[in-house]
Amino acid sequence: MSHDANLKVRLLDVAAEEAGQRLDNFLLRHASGVPKTRVYRAIRKGEVRVNKGRSKPEYRVQAGDTVRMPPLKMNEPKATGAPSGAWERRIRAAILLDNADLLVINKPTGLAVHGGSGVRLGLIESLRSLFPDTRYLELVHRLDRDTSGLVLVAKNASALRSLHEQLRKGSIDKRYLALVAGKWPAYQKSVSAPLAKRHTPSGERIVKVASEGKPAKTEMRVLERLPEATLIEAKPISGRTHQIRVHTQHLGHAILGDVKYQNDQSRAISATAGLKRLFLHAQAISFQLGGERYELECPLDAELESVLARLRSQR
């Protein structure tokens, strides 16, 4: 796309396969290289119109909508927002499934699912950059930046709607592997504790167990007992931010490698085990889509397996 293409008003007709995505995402796809803040400002000031009326960034565009896109100046060509070669190779290698409805990614640790809050490029922006011809890509659910494992990305509005409906009903089965400090009690099969989001003075988001929080429940079972640690399977029944991390910490068994939700014991064991990252991995997910049953799994990466091997050798 030439620079000049962005410097005149464009009227974009929403195609059927683009329907259902948020207005901000729709615009960002059609204005590659334009800073996000500029796109949001254009929406806020009413420079962007949908069917001649003002709209909000979260409005979901419909087939046949006409979106007025004002002249938007691109960043310099170097800032097109493409992932580095190394990240691109990692992301391509992490694709577990690619069909007409879905992309399923085994997300590496350290990659945010989307940009913002100091993250220039997240998984979804990287995928849109790697697959410019796929007109619709939307995250079905989120995964913390430091958590690895399965992430679903919808390729059309009907897949997104169906999966969101199943998430609301609780009929998507998600299972995580977590290595927690200490001896997880065998009788502790679940944790129910309400969670509330807070912000630290520095603006960092932190989640706490609080009576005024939203209800949250996680089911757990012990998979393996190791010296000073327990490998558990965690199944979140609700989908709150940082839920598994806060629930395990709440019971005094923080997840190893978690610098945000830790205690003295988990900090010491993480150091001994040589753990440089959060030991939380979205290992399995199952759901229905388009009359098909999906049961997907992805194993722990080499780094986490080596930590387990090191702890087992201490027996």
Same fold, 3-78 and 82-161: no
pLDDT at 114: 81
C-alpha span between 126 and 128 (Å, rounded): 5
Nearest alpha-carbon partner for 23 in 66, 57, 62: 57
Ranges 95-99, 100-104, 149-153, 199-203: which has the least confidence: 199-203
Contact by Cβ (8 Å): 261, 204: no
C-alpha 284 chain-centroid distance: 15
pLDDT above 80 (res 139): yes
C-alpha separations of 95 from 25, 88, 190, 297 in Å: 22, 11, 32, 12
pLDDT tens, residue by residue, 262-305? 999 999 999 988 899 999 999 999 999 999 999 999 999 999 99
Q: What is the DSSP letter of 7?
A: G
In a 3-state reduction of DSSP, which class is residue 167?
Answer: helix
Residue tagged 């790697």 (tokens): 130
For residue 1, what pLDDT band results from cuts at 50, 70 and 90? very low
Element (H, E) at 209: strand 205-209
Task: Please count the residues of the chain.
Answer: 315
Structure tokens at 212: 């005024």
Q: Classify residue 241 by burial, with Cβ atoms within 10 Å: 0-12, 13-18, 19+.
A: middle
pLDDT at 78: 41
Nearest alpha-carbon partner for 28 in 139, 104, 156, 124: 124
For residue 132, what pLDDT band results from cuts at 50, 70 and 90? confident
> In this structure, which CATH number among 3.40.30.10, 3.60.20.10, 3.30.499.10, 3.30.2350.10 belongs to the domain 82-161?
3.30.2350.10
Say which residues have a Cβ less than 8 Å from residue 273's Cβ, sequence separation at least 6: 229, 256, 307, 310, 311
Provide DSSP, 244-259.
Answer: HHHHHHHTT-PBTT-S
Q: Classify residue 273 by burial, with Cβ atoms within 10 Å: 0-12, 13-18, 19+.
A: buried
Given CA atoms 86, 89, 91, 94 in this order, what sign does their dihedral have? Answer: negative
pLDDT at 253: 96
In a 3-state reduction of DSSP, which class is residue 141?
Answer: coil
Q: In what order do the strands lie in the sheet with 10-13?
A: 10-13, 66-69, 49-50
In a 3-state reduction of DSSP, which class is residue 235?
Answer: strand
Higher pLDDT, 79 or 259: 259
Residue tagged 């753990």 (tokens): 275
Q: Mean pLDDT in the chain?
A: 89
pTM for this entry:
0.77
pLDDT above 70 (res 4): no
Contact by Cβ (8 Å): 175, 283: yes
CATH superfamily to which 3-78 belongs: RNA-binding S4 domain (3.10.290.10)
Maximum average pLDDT range among 35-44, 117-126, 254-263 = 254-263
For the chain, the structural domain boundaries read: 3-78, 82-161, 172-312
pLDDT above 50 (res 314): yes
pLDDT tens, residue by residue, 47-56? 999 999 999 9
Instruction: Give me the active site residues, please.
Output: 144
Residue tagged 């990287």 (tokens): 126
Q: Domain 172-312 classified CATH 3.30.2350.10? A: yes
pLDDT above 70 (res 2): no
C-alpha span between 142 and 119 (Å, rounded): 15
pLDDT tens, residue by residue, 73-98? 765 444 446 777 888 888 999 999 99
